[in-house]
Structure 1
Amino acid sequence: MRRTPALLSALAVAAVVVTSLVGCSSSASAACTPVFSAGDSSKVVKATSSTASFPTPLVVKSSQVSQLKAGKGSPVQSGDQVDYTYSLYDGATGKQIATSSSSNTATARSGALDTAKATAVQKSLRCATTGERYALVTTVKEGFGAGAGGSSYPDDATLVVVVDVVDHFLGKANGINVLPQDGMPAVITAVDGQPGIVIQEIGKPKDLRISTIKAGAGATVEKGATVHVKYSGWSWPTTSSDKPVIWPGSSSGGDGQASWTNDQAVDLTVDSKSLPVGLYKALVGAKVGSQVLVVMPPKAGFGAGSSSLGVDANATLIMVVDVLGIK
């Protein structure tokens, strides 16, 4: 079995976020318009969750998607996060190249995007439903980006991706804006949902402060729950003229804002023993769809774990957390 590091990397980071959409158009609905349509090449793919067969060589110039098994529930919307498993095949030979498990993750996760720069894989996510299986037939370049196939697979090589959609949830907080709390940083949100902060000439809080920026209307987070979140983090400036410092991440390559820069939500277990006090208290009782601002003095922060974020253990930390779903 041939494996191409560049292609596997693309899959692991965000490329293989295929979430069936089009298929035989059965996944389309009045509330969702798929990006791609089924074609002669995608229709001939037969697959289970772990095997696939199709006539070879299979060749396409543009992406096609066909549904193999129907799912249930609401369709994936642009910007949603999707959990899925996948198997990747060489369109020329029919041989399997990789699976989600071979990339050291039983379940992959990525956002469903339909922007001009999005890959065909990301675009195909739109309109998928939980439990659906589909076949995406695409080229290396269109599906995963130019050069993703390395030396083994040129950009025009055909690939077949079989995707099983496990779950999907919000990609950003969608709650109602709440009036800001005095003495707290101002949160500014970009169109895609990524937050930034502005600190006016206010004193550094000495005690834990928690404020709801957007009030969601979803399920309530309880103790012990596993929640899907996106977060951003900063250290409080040391002087009034300084700007908040974004968590740089550890020397091993961590990123303090990884859940936003990679467009990938992370899962947290809401447990007082595994989370810092401040974050734990901010999450308990929050509703899905909410965006929460928390300012944590050192005693309520990450303590010794601060080094993994690249910040001082004695710093006052600021987090903006979008509560996107409950597992």
Structure 2
Amino acid sequence: MRTRPLIARPLIALSALTLSALALAGCTGSGEPDGSAATDEGLCAAAAPSGAASEAVTVDGEVGEASTASFDAGLEVEELQRTVITEGDGEALAEGDYVEYALTAFSADSAEKVGDIGYVEGEVLPAAVSAETSLGQIMGCASVGSRMVVTFPASESAGAEVYIVDVLDVAPTQAWGEDQPPVEGMPTVELAEDGSPTITIPDAEAPDEVQVAELKVGDGAEVEPGDNVLVQYTGVTWSDGEVFDSSWESGAAAAFATTGVVDGFRQALEGHTVGSQVLVVVPPEFGYGDVEDHELQDETLVFVVDILGTQHVPTE
């Protein structure tokens, strides 16, 4: 059902052909929310050091807009380096935060721009930042609104590169949209202070068709067919109301493609906007009904889904 959002070493391999997939690649490792002072100090300490390569780059442009960079072609990049050129005045990143970011990439060999991503809504998924990952080395505990030069040595798949990285915001971990009135006859939902839902099944027969209701309507980008999404969710069975799957209980949001879940769950994603919370009832036909011997094969499922981010998939 879910793919745990992780951060590995994906940013290093950026190229013109992989720019559009950067956000999904950026969610291939894990950063479990923590928030302790000691862990946050570890995030600060994880930041890569400044050095001759990153300090040799001059940047023009405002934070939040694609930038231009000037440096001599053939820039020698022997290690990951990071130089903060603009200190933001927003909150400092903490261990486990889901950071919204954008970047412009340049070839260290030619000094030519490779491309940019994240400056248009729906291009990049928020990614968990952790002291244990390369994203932690890039971001450290930078403040929202910061801009930094990051240099990457060559890898097996790409030459040395220079990134101008902007820390745009920290994404909420629960839906923030406008509350909507409940739909009569559908399960009811109560939210804990942290946003985790408790779902109560009505005393009625399960429906034969998928039922979808928006509990909150967000103001973000609309999820399009095939998008990659970042969500929080809880799923219960209609027969007994028991939780069978929950990102809240796992301790981290989940990232996956809308094409990678059962059809009823997909209907709770596509066509809805980031920031929304969606309630969906999924009969077996639109769930696991065709999966022989699956423990949920004959179950009607109920999900509450908080849509935290979407990454549109290029049509090219």
State the Cα distance separating 1:77 from its structure 2 match. 7.7
Count, aligned residues: 212
Does the Cα contact within 8 Å between 2:126 and 2:171 map onto a contact in 1?
A: no
2:242 corresponds in structure 1 to 245
Alignment of 1:313 with 2:310, yes or no, is no
2:279 matches 1:293: yes
For 2:250, give the aligned amino acid: N
2:21 maps to none
Q: What is aligned with 2:183?
A: 181
CA RMSD in angstroms, aligned pairs only: 4.7
Q: Give ranges in structure 1 of 5+ residues lacking alignment.
A: 1-7, 19-34, 54-65, 85-106, 113-120, 135-162, 238-242, 248-255
1:82 is matched with: 99
SS in 1 for 2:31: helix
Q: Per the alignment, in what secondary structure is the counterpart of residue 268 of structure 2?
A: helix
SS in 2 for 1:46: coil
Quote how far apart the aligned CAs of 1:191 are.
Answer: 1.3
Compared CA separation, residues 71 and 216, structure 1 to 2 (3 A) = farther
Cα separation, 1, equivalents of 2:254 and 2:146 = 19
Q: Deviation at 1:263?
A: 3.4
Work out whether 1:260 is the aligned partner of 2:236.
no
Q: State the TM-score, normalizing by the size of structure 1.
A: 0.50
Change in Cα spacing, 1:14 to 1:164, as seen in structure 2 (3 Å) is: farther
Aligned to 1:200: 202
Deviations 1:206-250 (A, max 9, x none): 22111111111111111122221111111112xxxxx41111xxx
**Counterpart contact for 2:48–2:80, Cα < 8 Å:** no
Equivalent residue for 1:46, pick from 43, 46, 50: 50
The answer to whether the 8 A contact 1:288-1:325 is kept is: yes
Instruction: Check the 8 A contact 2:33/2:251 in 1, yes or no.
Output: no
How far off is 1:313 after superposition?
0.6
CA deviations 1:87-119 (Å, max 9, x no partner) are: xxxxxxxxxxxxxxxxxxxx995379xxxxxxx
User: 2:230 is matched with which residue?
Assistant: 228
Shift, 1:169, TM fit: 3.2
Q: Can you list the C-alpha shifts for 1:242-297, whole angstroms capped at 9, x where unaligned?
A: x41111xxxxxxxx21x2233322223223xx432212222121011000011000
Report the secondary structure of 1:283's partner residue.
coil
Aligned pair in 2 of structure 1 residues 184, 81: CA closer, same or farther (>3 Å)? same
CA distance in 1, matches of 2:273, 2:204: 29
Q: Please name the residue that 1:110 is paired with.
A: 128
Change (3 A) 1:132 1:290: farther
Structure 2-normalised TM-score? 0.52
Alignment match, 2:31? 14
What amino acid sits opposite 1:110 in the alignment? A
Inter-partner Cα distance in structure 2 for 1:17 and 1:245: 27
Q: Report 1:147-158 matches (<5 A).
A: none
1:176-209 deviations in Å (ceiling 9; x for gaps): 1111111111111111111111123233222211
Give the conservation status (yes or no) of the 8 Å contact 1:71–1:130: yes
The 1:192/1:43 distance shift into structure 2, 3 A limit, reads: closer
Distance 1:111 1:245, change over 3 A: farther
Q: Which runs of 5+ in 2 are unaligned?
A: 1-7, 9-28, 55-76, 102-124, 131-136, 151-164, 312-316
Identity of matched residues, %: 29
Cα contact 1:229–1:325 (8 A) shared by 2: yes
Q: Distance in 1 between matches of 2:83 and 2:191?
A: 36
Shift of 1:73: 11
- Partner SS, residue 318 of structure 1: strand
Q: Which amino acid aligns with 2:31?
A: A
